[in-house]
Structure 1
Amino acid sequence: MRPRYLKGLLCGSLLLSLLPLWYLLLTTGDAPKRWQLSSQFPVGSAPRGVDFPSLFASFPPAPRCEPGQLLLILVTSAPGNSEPRQVIRSTWAAREGPAPPQWQAVFLVGQTADAGAAREIQREQQAFGDLLVGNYLDAYRNLTLKVMHGLKWAAERCRPRYVLKTDDDCFVNTAWLPAFLQEHNRVRAGLYAGSLFSREKRQVIREPSSKWYVSRQDYRPEEYPPYASGIGYLLSLDAAQRLLGAAERVRPIPVEDAYVGILAEEAGIRVQASARFAKHNVRWQVCNYRYLLVIHHLSPREQAAAKRSMLQARRACQDSLEVTRWK
C-alpha cells in the first residue's frame, strides 16, 4: 500500500474514532446554551407542544403506583445522584408506622451517554422500583421534558388526588403535608401552589451564555406570567390534567417552572402563593416544621437533621397554634 494512501486511511480512522467523543461533548456539555431536546423540537420550527409519546421509555419498567392515592411526589434527579436518592429514601420518603401511607415518592431521571451509569440506574430500579426513566437525554435544559413526562405518567397511570413536584436537594415534610391536604386544604380543584417569584425575577433571560437562556423563537414575551419555583409546587389532579392539555399546544421552553406558569396561564389556572415552600435553607426551629412543607437546598446531613426536627415537632410543638391555610 502506498504511503500517502496509508496516511489517509490512518487519518480517516482517527476521525471516526473521535466521533463518539465529539457527540458526547456536544450533547452533554454545558457550553452550548441551547435546547438539548429530542429532534422533534428543532429551533425555529413551527410552534407546537410537547410530543408526549416520545418521552416514554420501554425499559426499565415504570414504578408501580396505587391508583387514587392522596399524594404522589415527583422528585427530579440526575442519573449520577444515587446518594441524594438514597438519603431521601432513608429520611422523608421512608415508610413509617404500621398503616400504609397515602402517598408515594418517585424519582424522575433521563437517559445518559455513560454506559456504566445506565447499568447502575437499571440496578437501582430493580432494587427499589421508584425510578421513572424517560426517553430523553438527562441534561439541565431538558428538565422541562423530565417534568412533563412525570406529570403525564402520574395523571394517566396513577391518578392521585394531588401531585407535588420537587428536586432531590429538597426536604418534603411528609409528616404534615398529607394530613394538611386531607384535613385543611380547601382548594380541591384547580390547585397550583408554591413559592412565587417577584415580577423583576420573571424577566426572560436573553443572554445565550446563561443556563436559563430562552430565545425569542421559543418564547416571544419579555416577562413570564406568575409561576411557582421549581423547588416545589403542588397540583391537584384536575390542574395537572389541564396543564398537560395546554402542553400539547404550547411550545416548550427550557425553563421548567416558568413553562408550568405559562401552561397555567393558558389553562386559566391562577397560581396560589404560599410561604410553606421555602426557597432557602436557614436555621429553622423545630416548631417551623409544623408549618413548612418543602425546604430547598439541604445536604444529606441536613436531610437527616430535618427529619429529626419533623418528627420532634409532633410532640414538642403541640401547644403552638397550627396554621391551616396555604399562606
Structure 2
Amino acid sequence: MRKFKAKTLLLAAAVGLLILHLFKDFSDSKTLQHNFDVREDQVQLRQPITKSSSYVYSWTRCQQNTSASNITGFSSLPGNIKDFLYYRHCRHFPMLLDVPEKCGGAEKSAEVFLLLVIKSSPVNYDRREVLRKTWAKERLHNGVWIRRIFISGTMDSGFEKERLNKLLEYEKSEYNDILQWDFSDTFYNLTLKQILFLEWMERNCPKARFLFNGDDDVFANTDNMVEYLQNLKDNNGNKHLFTGHLIHYVGPIRDPGSKYFIPVQVYESDSYPPYCGGGGFLLSGYTALVIYNMSQSITILPIDDVYMGMCMAKAGLGPVAHIAVRTAGLHLPSKTLDAYDPCYYRDILLVHRFLPIQIYQMWHRIHDPNLICTKQPADG
C-alpha cells in the first residue's frame, strides 16, 4: 500500500511538472506572438529580443528574383554570377553579432577620431588576433581615440557554420569588436558587407570623424593615419574626404576566368568611375554617410571598391590619390634590397598583402626606438 501511494505521488508530481512546462511554453509563445509583426514576405520584430548579449535576432526572408533568368545570355553565365543576379536585390539580413555601444552611443560617437573598419571572414582568427595586438589596437594616440571593428558574414553550413559562428561569438565576448550578419561571406558579397556596415554606422556611430576601411591582410600604420588626418585643413570629418590608391580610366573585366569577372548582364558600361583600391582607404564620416545614402538608389555591383566610387560619383564627389597608400605593394629599385626593411614602411600609411607574422614583426620593428633610417619609401 505504501509503495502504491509513493508511486501515485511521484506520478502526480510528474504530471504537475508537465502541466507547468506546457503552460510556460504556451505563455512564451504568446509573448513571442505579441513581439512579432507577421507579414507575407517577412517577419519583423516590434521590439528587439536578445538571446544573449552577443546575439540580436531579426528575420527577413528575401525571395529569389526568378525573372533574372529572363536576362539575355543568363543561361551561359557561371553559377556564382547567376546567384548574384537572383539575389542582388537583397540588402537586409539577420544580424548575429552587434556592438551598438562601440562608439559610446550615437550622440557620443564624435569622440571616435578614427574608426578602423576591417573586413574579415570567420576563418581568419589568426589575422584578427595579430591586428588587435598591432596596428588595430584600440588606443589614445596624439590625444584622439582609435577604435576597431571587424565586419563579417558566415561561412559553410551545418555544424561547421555553427562552429565558426561560435568562434566569433567567443571573440566578440572577449574583445567587443565584431559585427556579423547571416549572409554568405564571399567575394561577390563584399559590397553587401559594406552596405550593411554603413547602415550600422548611421544608426550607432554617425558622428565618427574618420574611418579606415580595409582588409585584414594589410599592414597599416595607423599612427601615421591619425597624424595625416589631424593635419588636414578645415576638415574634422565634417567634409568630403576619400583617399587611397586611386584607380581610374578602367572598366569591367569581361574574362570569365578572372576573379573580377563582370559580364554585361551585371554592368553594361565599359568604364568605371574613379575609385580607390579596396585593400584600404581613408574617408571622412561625412563621406561615409553620403555613400550610404547614395547606395539606397544604386543597384549593387559585386566589386565593392568600384561600387563606393559609383556612390561618390552620383553625389558629385570623387576620390583622390595618396602616395603613401600602396595596395599594390612596394616596388623596390633592386631585388638585392630587403623588401621588409622597416625603414621602407616607417612613413607609409598602408601596404597590402602581409601575412600575420609579417604584420606583427613590422609593427614592432617600426616602433623600435633604436631604429635609424636613411632610406626613403620606394616609389610605387
**If the length of structure 2 is used for normalisation, what is the TM-score?**
0.66
Distance of 2:259 and 2:183 partners within structure 1: 18
Secondary structure at the aligned position of 1:33 is classed as helix
In structure 2, the residue corresponding to 1:230 is in which secondary structure? strand
Q: List gaps (5 residues or longer) in structure 1.
A: 1-30, 43-49
Alignment of 1:193-204 (within 5 A): 193-199=243-249, 202-204=250-252
2:169 is the alignment partner of 1:129: no
Aligned to 2:163: 116
- Work out whether 1:156 is the aligned partner of 2:203: yes
> 1:176 is paired with a residue of what secondary structure?
helix
Q: 1:97 offset after TM fit, Å?
A: 7.3
Match of 1:86 in 2: 129
Aligned-partner residue type, residue 272 of structure 1? V
CA distance in 2, matches of 1:103, 1:314: 26
Q: What is the identity, as a one-letter code, of the residue corresponding to 2:120?
A: S
Distance 2:369 2:264 in 1: 48
Select which of 218, 223, 248 maps to 1:170: 218
Contact 2:275/2:318 (8 A) holds in 1: no
Structure 2 residue 104 is matched with structure 1 residue 71: no
Partners in 2 of 1:111 and 1:36 — Cα distance?
A: 17
Deviation at 1:121, TM superposition (A): 1.6
Quick one: which of 159, 164, 186 aligns to 1:139? Answer: 186
- RMSD between aligned residues: 2.9
Q: 1:98 to 1:266 in 2, by over 3 A?
A: closer
Cα distance in 2, alignment partners of residues 208 and 306 from structure 1: 37
Which structure's relative contact order is higher, taking Cα pairs within 8 Å and 6+ residues apart? 1
From the superposition, tell whether residues 155 and 128 of structure 1 become closer, same or farther in structure 2 (CA, over 3 Å). Answer: same
- Measured in 2, the distance between the counterparts of 1:155 and 1:291 equals 32
Q: Distance in 1 between matches of 2:149 and 2:280?
A: 14
- For the residues of structure 1 that align with 2:376 and 2:303, how far apart are their CA atoms? 38
Q: Distance in 2 between matches of 1:258 and 1:104?
A: 26
Q: Partner amino acid for 1:309?
A: R
Matched with 1:61 is: 98
Within 1, Cα distance between the matches of 2:200 and 2:370?
A: 34
Judging changes above 3 Å, is the alpha-carbon distance between structure 1 residues 252 and 95 closer, same or farther for their aligned structure 2 residues?
A: closer
Matched residues in 1 for 2:93 and 2:233: separation?
Answer: 33
Which segments of 5 or more consecutive residues in structure 2 lack a partner in the other structure? 1-77, 331-338
Give the corresponding residue for 1:34.
81
Q: Distance in 1 between matches of 2:193 and 2:175?
A: 20
CA distance in structure 2 between the aligned counterparts of 1:186 and 1:258, rounded to whole angstroms: 28
CA contact (8 A) 2:365 2:371 kept: no
- The normalised TM-score by structure 1 is 0.76
Secondary structure of the corresponding residue to residue 150 of structure 2: strand
Partner AA of 1:164 in structure 2: F
Measure how far apart 1:321 and its partner are: 10
Shift of 1:251: 0.4
Identity in percent: 25
Kindly tell me: are residues 185 and 173 of structure 1, through their superposed partners in 2, closer, same or farther at Cα, counting changes over 3 Å? farther
SS at match of 1:262: helix
Q: Equivalents in 1 of 2:165, 2:314: separation in Å?
A: 37
Cα deviation, 1:186-228, whole Å, max 9, x if unaligned, reads: 65511110102253xx221223343322232332211111110
